[in-house]
Each structure stands twice: as structure tokens, then as C-alpha cells.
Structure 1
């Protein structure tokens, strides 16, 4: 394991990219998921159909295929993206589909009487969602969102296939240099585990805080 320690700085740089990709993809994924969730419960039928089709396609195809489509496929139509940009886009689209179902279920879990009461108090639909529905739905959604966060952290390893130097790619480069597999794979496995554990601790604290707030 001395090789891992000697190259710790290089691996930590890869871990930083892993966290960066995870956070950026989750931020945009949350935005996409919220929009799609609202589209899924919209009263406009074509909007519901489009949203349902998007979720079905993304959840029904491998994330690696989606990464290749964004990076290689779009280039066939003149849209050439950098590897890091393609990673952000592909993972955001992927996680957005999964989060949309989480958000939709959380919103639908709020009793309909809450919306009716908001209308009776003179609120607009947006005000009712912002002040009444979303805060209650957030408490329901936070736990499954945490699982999605951790899953996304591990799925970032797939972007190594398009030459993004995240944690797995960093290990692969070191393996090619030293011709040693086990130490580097054990090392990055431990780093993934630590990052996942820290995510779990933070999300548990947020979930606990939300449960006290309501």
C-alpha cells in the first residue's frame, strides 16, 4: 500500500473530481427532477406523456449508454462536448429521471386538503406549492434522495470511459504506470466508502433536522 500513499495526492485530485461531478450533477438533477415531477402531475395530457416518456427511456437504458450517447452520439450532429461537460449533462439527465419519481411520490403524499386550504387562504398555486406542499414533500423525499446521491457518487466511475480523470480513472493511470492492481483498487474502494459514509451522515442530519421542523 506504500504505492497508494506515495500517490495519494494524485488520487485525492481524482476524488475531488468525483465529488465535483456528483454535486454538479445532483444540483442540475434536482432541478430537472422537480420540473419533470410537476409535469407528471400536470393537468395537461401531452406534457404528462412527454415527461413519462423521458422517465421511461432514461430508467430503461444503462447509464453508460447514455454517457456514450451524449459524448459520442451528439458529435455526429456537430455538437462536440468536452468530456467533463458531457459527464455533467449525461449524469444530470439520468439522475433527474430518478429524482422526478421521488419528488412526484413525495408531492402526492401530501393530503389534497392542504392545497384546498391554501386556496381558501387566498394563495396562488405557486404560493401553495412553495409554502405548503414543497416543505412537507421535502421531508418525505430526503431519504430516497440520499440513496440517489450515494448511487450517483458511485456511478461517476463510469465517466472514466470518456477520459474524465476522476477517482477510478486516476487509479487506472497509476496501474498502467506501476503494473500493480490490488493496492490501487483497495485504495479507491476505501475512498469511495469514506465519501459515501460522509454523505450518509450529512443526509441523516438533514433528515433529522427536517423531522424536528415539522
Structure 2
């Protein structure tokens, strides 16, 4: 038996590519959903209403204190017993979204809390509405500050999609396991899977680094404008009017 059998790899390459497509599709959907859902959860964690803080805190602690594989199994195998039945792909997306929303919620919260409180006070003194203050001033700065952490989480997410196999999703790793068990070409198939993960993961890492530099360059003119008389808050006051 050849250590590297290119004939087997060529034969099953379409199956591996389909598994990679499933992996990437889950990653992209979860990325978008988690980025959006983490914002209201972070605001709930910072809310003056104790019930919102308690709910968000309970959610975050439950997710952080239990393994992600158990969360996926619970959604796919346990929820049908109470009438909630999801297909494997949907269960994987829901489980991963809930998991990463909890972590990104804390990332957002830390980014928001890292900003000087004087910005809030100055904006309120200028009469800028709270919603405009958050969307136009606070959130962009917080996102820029936490961008490296967000990039790291989503590279981890790409790798964590391999856990979707426990809910019968034939992503890249699951497809590789099936093919390897049929052909006994473990070196060939798992090496191909490893290379696929590395190429996409490393490409995503380079993209995140490029985005960080782009955001940093784009933020430089904003710092100069803020240093000028009036600054951003005066501009936001004019926009509010």
C-alpha cells in the first residue's frame, strides 16, 4: 500500500471539496450571526436593568462552563424530546452561533468598557441621542479595539466546525473520516484534510491581519480630526440636528 495514493485522492476529491464547502458555509453563517447577536447581548451585560444583566450573565456563564460538543448534542438529540427538531446543518449553525455569541459578547463588552467615559458624558452634554452616540462613536471604536480578538475567535470557529460531525453534518473532517474508513488511506486523506484546513485557516489569518492594518490606517485621519477644534462630537452634534 502506497503511503500517498494520488489515485484515491483524485477519486474522492469532489467529496472532500463538498465537505470543505459545507465547513466554509457554516463558518460564514455563524460569523455573521454571532457578530450581530453579540451586540445586544453586550448591551444587556452593561444594562442598568438587573433582569437584563442577570439573563445575559446566566447565558454567558452556561455557555462558557459547558463543552461545545455537549451543546451541539443537546440541541440535536435532546431538544426533539420537547418538540424542537432541527436538521443537522441547522443544529450545527444554531449551536455554534450560541457558543460564539457568548464569547463575542464579552469581547464587545470589554471593548466598550475600555473607552473613556468622558466620551459618553461629552456626547450627552452636546445633546447627541444615545443611539447615535453608540452607533457612530462608541461601536466603531470598540470594534477597532477588539478586532484582533474577533479575528482569532473566527479562525477558531473555522476549526470548530469539525465538531458538527456529531450532529451528522458531513463537513470536511467527517467526509475525510468516511473516506479513510473505506479506503484505509489514512495518510492520504487526513493529510489532504489538514492541508485544506491550513490553506483556508492561514488565508483567513492573513486576511484578518490585512484588515487590522487597513482599519488602523483608516482610523488615523479620524484621530487627526478629533484633535481639531470641535472634533467628532461636534460633527455628531451637527448631524443630530
The residue aligned with 2:151 is 146
- Matched length: 214
The residue aligned with 1:114 is 119
Q: State the Cα deviation string for residues 92-143 of structure 1 (Å, max 9, x = none).
A: 0000001011100011111111111221222111100011101111111110
- Decide which moves more: 176-185 or 89-98: 176-185
Asked if 1:20 is matched to 2:25, the reply is: yes
The residue aligned with 1:129 is 134
Asked if 1:91 is matched to 2:96, the reply is: yes
- Decide which moves more: 127-136 or 182-191: 182-191
- Aligned mate of 1:177, from 147, 171, 182: 182
* Aligned ranges 1:37-48 → 2 under 5 Å: 37-48=42-53
Gapped runs of 5+ residues in structure 2?
220-241
RMSD across aligned positions (CA): 1.0
Asked if 1:164 is matched to 2:169, the reply is: yes
CA distance in 1, matches of 2:62, 2:192: 35
- Select the structure of larger CA radius of gyration: 2
The residue aligned with 1:11 is 16
- 2:52 alignment partner, SS class: helix
- Aligned mate of 1:213, from 204, 214, 218: 218
Deviation at 1:52, TM superposition (A): 0.7
Contact 1:106 1:137 in 2 (8 A): yes
Deviation at 1:180, TM superposition (A): 2.1
CA distance in 1, matches of 2:50, 2:137: 25
The residue aligned with 1:190 is 195
Deviation at 1:7, TM superposition (A): 1.9
Once superposed, which parts of structure 1, at least 4 consecutive aligned residues long, lie more than 4 Å away?
Answer: none
- 2:86 alignment partner, SS class: coil
- Aligned mate of 1:65, from 62, 70, 77: 70
CA distance in 2, matches of 1:120, 1:51: 30
- 1:110 alignment partner, SS class: coil
